[in-house]
Structure formats: C-alpha cells, structure tokens
Structure 1
Amino acid sequence: MSTKFTKMNSQGNDFIIIDLAQEKFTEDQDAIKKICSRDAVGCDQLLLINTIDPKRVTCKIYNNDGTSASQCGNGMRAIMLYLNKKFSITESIINVCELEYKTEVIDKNRISVELGQPSFAENSLPQDDIFTSELEIVNVGNTHVIVSKKIDEKDRNSIADALDAGFRTSHYGEVNLTFLLNLKDFIKDPTITLKAKVKEKGAGWTKSCGTGATAAAAYILRYNYHKSSKYPIKVEQEGGVLEVHHDNSGSLKLVGPSELEYDGVWDG
C-alpha cells in the first residue's frame, strides 16, 4: 500500500505528516516504527491528521518507538505550516486527545500554538529518585520533569537513565526530561536566553522540543524568575531558539519557525 506523506522540520525536531482525509495508513506499532525508522523516511514523531475541515483538525501523535503521545508543541506548529501551504489558511484549531489548541502563522518565521495554563504536581515525586528536591513535574499537555540542577554533559546520559528508571516504576511511567543548563545565570539576568536539553519520551534526545521549552518557561514563571509579560522567555536548544509568551492569566504560547522539507510516497 502506497501512502503519501509530508516531511516537516521544526528546528531539527522532525515529523512525518499523513493526512487521513486523503490517505490510508495502518496504525499498528510495527508500521509506525517502520516509517519512523532512520533507515526509512525517519522522524522523531509521526503526526496523523484529518483535514476534512482544515480549520478544525484532529491529530494523533506517535513517537518513533511506536508509542503514542498526548502533545507535541513543535509538531502542532509544523501542522499549522502544513495547513498554510496546502490550504492557504493562517489559523486552525488542532484537537489532540480531546483537547483543542489554537495555532497561527504569524509570519514566515513565526508559527504559534497556544498551550494554555501549565499544571504542577505537588509532593508526588518518586521517593527514591536522585536529588529529588531539584526536580519539578509540570504538565503542558504532556508531562515534563524539570531538572533544575546543572548537570555536566558527560553525566547527563547516566542521570537521565537513573531518572527514567525511577519514574518508570512510579505512577507516572515514562516521562519527558528537561534539563536546564544555565538556570543560575538566567536568574541573575532574565533577559538572556535560557538553555535547555530535552530527552523526549519515546524519541530520546531531540534537537528541539516545543513542550520542553514551554515547560521550562512554566518553571521560570512559577518561581517568578521572569516578571514581565511584555517580553517572551527565550529558550535555546541545539536546533535554535523558541519563544514562550505568557499573559497575566498564566496561559502560555509557543512561537518559532518550522519548514516543509518535501512530499513523498511511502511503500511500507
């Protein structure tokens, strides 16, 4: 069976989009892992959308290990660019797991998704985790564990593995891990760019993670390290800088670039 797809990229965080309004795709784990493999088309996440009404799109998100995901900020922005290119619209509502997210093409380099108000877990960290006092759990449509303690790059994999093991045996299961790399410098001068590195659930270390950037900004705002709603929090990852805008209600909007790489056909 041949399936048309579009390859998208948001700062190195790459996606395969398949429009189920026009194409057929078997949603089993083997098929998902096969198309997502770097030996095939390859991507961090597979985005299965339905554009019967391009201004109100439904989306299912799958990680490259075949597991499902409840949100992907960079993926939402990629879908909005896809809709702009294919249907010449600049705004759309994307429904993921029965939650609606407003997306917009602001200009050619700025595509936004409104992720709403974050929520924080209180006093519910796994008891045996390392440096528990320097972890924070935040939900921005999916769950991120913020690691505020600065971890040397050489130790980051082993720390991430230890955290993964701890959370897998808790009621959270596997989670996204967001490491803040320069928090102390940012606290001293919140006009600088906050640096982060994210290990995504089901996808591993990625060059950019939209919800990771949003979760990092939520952490910053919770502890009042950034006080002005006039200016966005800028979060830098390997793939580039994303902006997280916030208002007085605490609602967060992720803004950044995306690109359409190419259209293709999958004969899986």
Structure 2
Amino acid sequence: MQVPFTKMNSQGNDFIIIDNTVLDYQFSNTQIKSICARKTIGCDQLLILDVKDKNHIGCKIFNQDGSSAEQCGNGLRAIMLFLNREYRFISCTIYVNLIPYLATYISQNKIQVNMGYATFIKDIPASGSCNKITRDNFFYKVTVNDDESSWSFLYAYLSVGNPHCIVFSEDSFIYKDKISNCLNSLYEEGVNISFILNLDEFLEETKTVLELRVNERGAGWTKSCGSGATATGAFVLRYISLPQYGLKNINGVKIRQEGGELYVEHNASNSLGEPELILCGPSVFEYDGIWND
C-alpha cells in the first residue's frame, strides 16, 4: 500500500496528515504506530481527513501509541493550513468525535480555532497513589507522603474536548514525574498534564507571558500542545477573576512553550455564562511524501 501524506508542524508539535477523502485507506493499529514511529516518518499525531465540503471536514486523530485522541489544538491549526493549501479554504468546520471546531486562516502565522467551552470538573476523584485530596473552589490540593518527605501541589481538572490537569503551584515542576504519575493514577483513562511555571509572576503583572510545559496523554512531553494552552488559558482567566485578584477585564493570555507562543482569548459566552475559547498561533508545511507499507 502506498499512501500520500503531508508533514506539518505547529511549533515543534509535528503531524502527518492523510487526506482520506477519495481513496478511503483503512489503517490497523500496527500501521498507525508504524507511521508515527520516529524510525520511519515520525510524528506526535496522525491526522486522517475526510473532506466533504468546507463545512464538513471529518478528522480522526491518533497518538504515537496508536490510541485515539479526542482533540488537538495544534493539529487543528495544521489541518486549517493544509486545507488552505490544498482546497483554498479560508475558514472551515472540522469535526473531531462529532464535535465541530471552526477554524480560520488569516496567515500562516495566525490561524485561529474556536475551541468551544471549558468544563471544570468539581467531583473529587479517588485518591489513587496520592495520599489526600481536598477541593478549594474549582481546583484541588493534593498532599503526597513518600519516603523522602511530605509535599503538596495544586491543580485544576477541566475538559476542552479532552481532559486536562493544570498544575499551578509554585515549584511544582520540580516534581513533574511524581505529579504526572499521581494524576494519571487518579484518572483511569489518562490525562493531559500542564505545568504553569510562573503563575505568581503573571499575577503581579498580567502582561507577563505564561510559561507552560505539557505531558500529553499518549504522546508524552511535547514542545507545544494547543489544547493544553487552551485549557491553561481557560483556567488562568477564571483564576484571576477570584475576589483576591479581581482581574476581570483581561480577555486573553499569551502562553509560551518550548515550541513558541500561542494566544488564548475569550469570545462570546453561552447561556451559562461560559466563554468560548479562541486559540491563535502558527503552523508550517514541511513536505509531501509517500508512505509504503
């Protein structure tokens, strides 16, 4: 089997896009892992498209380990750039797991995706490998007692089409592996884990660019994660509106990861008062190729 593909990159988060509109290739789990493996073409995620028209773009997303992904903000921007190159679309609606995402091409450096609404999960999970969990407002405090010491961290759990834990307590990145293991023990299907490195600095000066590192479910540590940035933006914009901060007039935040900067802003609100989240950033075309099975 010979399969044409396009390699795209969104700030170091790289993708293989296969346009499945005409030939309708069927891929086994083994083939998906082979395509994604770094010893062959290699990518963080495989994006398989079915283009009906600009209002109906079907997309399936697969991680390196062959598992399905529920959503990918950087991947959606890569898809929009691909559709602009191949179909001349300026805007389109991309469906992932039946959820529509409106994407707009302004320039290669400015591709916008309406990521929908964030849903904050307030149920306290079972403790897993963590020793104690308490809830404060819309986030949690976890206390861990291990052989070396007792320590704690703060995180929020929310969904932007896929699940994210936003870890925001000071110096928590020092314990990134232990925290990742702890949080993955709380959520059986795994979770994307984002670490904000400088929230205290941001609270003092909101023009500060937030520094973020993300451990993606099914892909591991990546240079950039669009949905992680979106979830982080949703959390921060809610957190700074708490009474002790009272910063309610800020509608957007810049977020820097190893791959570069993204911008997350609020748009119109739904009937419950939850704002839509707009993710904006670049994507680039790398090359076209043929995968031979």
CA contact (8 A) 2:233 2:252 kept: no
Cα distance, 1:154 vs. partner?
4.7
Cα distance, 1:153 vs. partner?
4.7
**SS of residue in 2 equivalent to 1:74:** helix
Counterparts of 1:25 and 1:130 in 2: how far apart (Å)? Answer: 47
Query: What is the TM-score with the length of structure 2 in the denominator?
Result: 0.85
What per-residue deviation string (whole Å, max 9, x for no partner) do you get for residues 14-48 of structure 1? Answer: 10000111344333211110100000110111000
1:239 aligns with one of 253, 259, 277? 259
**SS of residue in 2 equivalent to 1:251:** strand
What per-residue deviation string (whole Å, max 9, x for no partner) do you get for residues 203-243 of structure 1? Answer: 000000000000001111222355335x5210110100000
The aligned amino acid for 1:239 is G
1:257 aligns with 2:269: no
Q: 1:150 to 1:187 in 2, by over 3 A?
A: same
1:191 aligns with one of 171, 186, 207? 207
Counterparts of 2:21 and 2:86 in 1: how far apart (Å)? Answer: 13
For the pair shown, which has the larger CA radius of gyration, 1 or 2?
2
Q: 1:84 to 1:106 in 2, by over 3 A?
A: same
Alignment of 1:104-115 (within 5 A): 104-115=104-115
Q: Which of 237-246 and 53-62 deviates more?
A: 53-62
**SS of residue in 2 equivalent to 1:157:** helix
2:249 aligns with one of 228, 242, 245? 228
Identity %: 43
Counterparts of 2:19 and 2:236 in 1: how far apart (Å)? Answer: 37
The equivalent of 2:220 in structure 1 is 204
Q: Which of 85-94 and 153-162 deviates more?
A: 153-162
The aligned amino acid for 1:149 is S
- Identify, as 1 or 2, the structure richer in strand: 2
Counterparts of 2:44 and 2:252 in 1: how far apart (Å)? Answer: 27
CA contact (8 A) 1:13 1:44 kept: yes
Counterparts of 1:248 and 1:189 in 2: how far apart (Å)? Answer: 25
**SS of residue in 2 equivalent to 1:25:** coil
RMSD: 1.7
**SS of residue in 2 equivalent to 1:51:** strand
The equivalent of 1:102 in structure 2 is 102
**SS of residue in 2 equivalent to 1:52:** strand
Counterparts of 1:43 and 1:70 in 2: how far apart (Å)? Answer: 17
CA contact (8 A) 2:215 2:221 kept: yes
* Structure 1: gaps (5+ residues): none
The equivalent of 1:180 in structure 2 is 196
Counterparts of 2:157 and 2:40 in 1: how far apart (Å)? Answer: 35
Q: 1:130 to 1:32 in 2, by over 3 A?
A: farther
Q: 1:255 to 1:139 in 2, by over 3 A?
A: same
The aligned amino acid for 2:221 is W
CA contact (8 A) 1:4 1:23 kept: no
Counterparts of 2:131 and 2:23 in 1: how far apart (Å)? Answer: 46
**SS of residue in 1 equivalent to 2:53:** coil
Counterparts of 1:121 and 1:252 in 2: how far apart (Å)? Answer: 17
Cα distance, 1:130 vs. partner?
5.9
CA contact (8 A) 2:265 2:278 kept: yes
Cα distance, 1:148 vs. partner?
1.3
The equivalent of 1:38 in structure 2 is 38
The aligned amino acid for 2:193 is L
The aligned amino acid for 2:95 is N
Counterparts of 1:162 and 1:255 in 2: how far apart (Å)? Answer: 31
CA contact (8 A) 1:48 1:61 kept: yes
Q: 1:126 to 1:188 in 2, by over 3 A?
A: farther
Cα distance, 1:112 vs. partner?
0.7
Query: What is the TM-score with the length of structure 1 in the denominator?
Result: 0.93
Number of corresponding residues: 263
The equivalent of 1:216 in structure 2 is 232
Cα distance, 1:56 vs. partner?
2.1
**SS of residue in 1 equivalent to 2:40:** coil
Cα distance, 1:152 vs. partner?
5.4
* Structure 2: gaps (5+ residues): 134-140, 142-153, 242-246, 270-274
CA contact (8 A) 1:3 1:23 kept: no
Counterparts of 2:206 and 2:98 in 1: how far apart (Å)? Answer: 35
Counterparts of 2:85 and 2:132 in 1: how far apart (Å)? Answer: 46
CA contact (8 A) 1:130 1:163 kept: no
Q: 1:20 to 1:161 in 2, by over 3 A?
A: same
Cα distance, 1:248 vs. partner?
5.0
Q: 1:130 to 1:184 in 2, by over 3 A?
A: farther
